[in-house]
Structure 1
């Protein structure tokens, strides 16, 4: 089936749920066991099934199956937020003393997690400029356990050359982790370009309406975890029956990464998604392809309009010639360039703040991917925890405004931008 059809039907069979046409919401903490033997088999992984909603839930299961199919992966795990999805991904691979090589143009919260929190756990992240893929190769050493990037940097919007970075990861026998939040599967499927693990904030375009929080990790099921340097998968786990995740799962061995994340980080740390949020994201995913078409159409129109505006110094949009990473974006984003636009308003930080305060249709919020148009000034909000040097290396200047272009009529969007720019000077 094509993506638009999968987005509506994948992972759900009405006949198994009392013929309910819509996916039910399972608001339950726990699940009745058939017998003591059944309970023992579930806990011992001799059977798969539901035990407790911190670990799994039937509504969540439909979401996970649907996202795995949309991304072309073999398994997925939904979590309480995109931030939890990122954190659990790293600690599902790395131990104290291990290292990750990551692009430096990351969302501010991810950068802070990698730069400040992971080192407290003894995990070092080496940041590199992703515009030259060879920078990843140069930073790899015998302690490296993963390579990490975003498809489109947030908020600089420069596209990563996924093929090139994937080749480097494969040569080094390292998993390639890609945060594809800014490029949902109707725009791009990173597994097709060599990604081993794909992460999304479900809160953004997949949900699409700013109503729920969640994240998801998709396991391509292609990476060989039997390499001894991945000790979490090769040394018996005393907390789970001495299980060696890369060896003892039988037919589930290809999805050892996803299963271990469910059984260890999620089961024991508890960043579980609620069934209601899972249900809301399923509603959003059904219209994903249609919404992304309009986001992309409006985004390109806004970028071109701002590029010609006398009070705008510069515009970054992956579909705009001359923008950072445009060549790579043209290669990978063949179904549209999305709704994210960043630009520099003439007058710097003061003009940027006045612009934000004068917007009428745009909402001033710390979010992206909503059906509504959104705007923010990253240097004073989402990336304010970064030092001036870190802001510069991430491509975030005082005058940068980040726009998430919604699906309103383009004439109204442009009129709001024009009047806010005019009133900022």
Structure 2
């Protein structure tokens, strides 16, 4: 497989190379287990001394092809697919943190991630300090503690749509000598290669743009292979693991130590693996990622321009819109486009937001994003409803905010549907 392929070619052909007489298209290996002829070889597989699939909770050929394709797209050394984006976020952190550890995170995150950090990580004894993503290096460093294990952020905040200042956050991570983890779901591996901007681990909800058809729940963690784990702060990666024959991950797997440990401990013990069928569907979606994202970006920009001139709109946020506060940063980190999400403030607040949404015929009220079909959501009463008003505002949510996931339909029809919606308020 050619490692110098461009992203569009990797989307289509990466991860699976059939041999003579094998299926041209990646098959679904819908099997929980695998047959071996030699017990000594199987023992080597269990000892991580030989390649092979033990059990589909840990690895599966269809899932492995998806993982390889993702690693190729982002230039990582390996990937682990999970049952959902939430499990990907959780595993990326639990692979490094345990009771008594500390994280610094940008405050502008998806509501489910904020809830994970403030409620369930807290129950696990892991403390999270949130920082304004526009804070200075010094302000962010002031949150650091001796037990700080990582820096966390999102490429494009959901739904605040702030573009992460990678240079600043990677500078903080380097000063603290801790890994930098970024959720690149909205950025996608096509629009933004986070490892080129100082990130060490990326996570995705593959449910969104990667699948692109709202058919398969999933997540993935990609290891950039670009962090020195043998720095005295990540002993579980360096010292013998008693749960796995005393193996030393850094010594045995070098740059792929992080992702190997995640697979053979967290996936093994906690079990939130991606199903072969969902991996198959996600792989099909990835084959058109480069084509879809170009159209998502084009449509979102046109809709943002149209909304900017509408008398019933208070404001519009889209990082690719000239004059937007995030425009310069978007041009720096998202050269191929600013993704398909935009937000706008509708005059009249929550009640008019609901009336507007009810009047739409083409654009559907849906609790997701990244679908080929356009959708709309009112985050204050849905995805961020569990947060206080202050927490909502901190994460970029205001009462008048409507989030639009702009699909790949004809933009004229999307605008026409919005025109009809505005007539109802």
| TM-score in terms of structure 2 length | 0.97
Which of these residues, 10, 20, 24, is aligned with residue 6 of structure 1?
10
1:126-137 pair list within 5 angstroms: 126-134=129-137, 135-137=139-141
Which of these residues, 32, 36, 46, is aligned with residue 29 of structure 1?
32
1:296-323, Cα deviation, whole Å (9 max, x unpaired)? 0000000000000000000000011333
Matched, 1:207 2:208: no
The whole-number CA distance in structure 1 between the counterparts of 2:307 and 2:37 is: 63
| TM-score in terms of structure 1 length | 0.97
Matched, 1:86 2:86: no
Contact 1:131–1:325 (Cα < 8 Å) also in 2:
no
Matched, 1:181 2:185: yes
The whole-number CA distance in structure 1 between the counterparts of 2:165 and 2:323 is: 16
* Shift in Å, 1:48: 1.8
The whole-number CA distance in structure 1 between the counterparts of 2:298 and 2:419 is: 18
The whole-number CA distance in structure 1 between the counterparts of 2:99 and 2:380 is: 32
Residue 370 of structure 1 is matched in structure 2 by 371
Matched, 1:171 2:175: yes
Secondary structure, counterpart of 1:26 in structure 2 = coil
Matched, 1:312 2:313: yes
Matched, 1:274 2:275: yes
Residue 72 of structure 1 is matched in structure 2 by 75
Secondary structure, counterpart of 2:128 in structure 1 = strand
Residue 62 of structure 2 is matched in structure 1 by 59
The whole-number CA distance in structure 2 between the counterparts of 1:132 and 1:148 is: 14
| RMSD, aligned α-carbons | 1.0
Point out where structure 2 has 5 or more consecutive residues left out of the alignment: none
Contact 1:133–1:165 (Cα < 8 Å) also in 2:
no
Secondary structure, counterpart of 1:321 in structure 2 = coil
The whole-number CA distance in structure 1 between the counterparts of 2:405 and 2:11 is: 23
Deviates more, 1:316-325 or 1:207-216: 316-325
* Shift in Å, 1:123: 0.3
* Shift in Å, 1:133: 4.6
The whole-number CA distance in structure 1 between the counterparts of 2:200 and 2:223 is: 6
Matched, 1:238 2:242: yes
Residue 404 of structure 2 is matched in structure 1 by 403
The whole-number CA distance in structure 1 between the counterparts of 2:397 and 2:368 is: 17
Which of these residues, 122, 132, 145, is aligned with residue 141 of structure 1?
145
Aligned residues: 420
The whole-number CA distance in structure 2 between the counterparts of 1:116 and 1:322 is: 37
